[in-house]
Amino acid sequence: MNEIIFLIEESLEGGYEARALETSIHTEAENLTELKDSIRDAVKCHFDEEERPHIIRLHFVKEEVITL
């Protein structure tokens, strides 16, 4: 695996949540700086060094609701 993709969403309770698309990694943090550190740590813990992806791609998802 050369890269891993995380979906980033704002949490209803505040802060941010990150979820990997192709593997079962989920983490959360109060701000984006902490979230990036948490994602790095989670990826390091989840993969052996020789299998670890070299690129972590973050996709930010923002949901908005409008009414008529």
d(CA 5, CA 56): 6
Residue range of the domain that includes 11 = 3-60
- Does some domain include residue 33? yes
The residue-averaged pLDDT of 1-7 equals: 92
The residue-averaged pLDDT of 4-26 equals: 96
Spatial neighbors of 29 by CB under 8 A, at least 6 apart, are: 15, 16, 35, 37, 38
- Does some domain include residue 20? yes
- Does some domain include residue 31? yes
In terms of DSSP H, where are the helices of the chain? Answer: 32-46
- Does some domain include residue 23? yes
- Does some domain include residue 38? yes
Q: Is the pLDDT of residue 1 over 80?
A: no
Q: Is the pLDDT of residue 60 over 80?
A: yes
- What does the pLDDT look like over 45-55, one tens digit per residue? 999 999 999 99
Q: Is the pLDDT of residue 9 over 90?
A: yes
- Does some domain include residue 10? yes
Looking at the structure of the chain, the number of domains it has is 1
- Does some domain include residue 68? no
- Does some domain include residue 8? yes
The residue-averaged pLDDT of 40-49 equals: 96
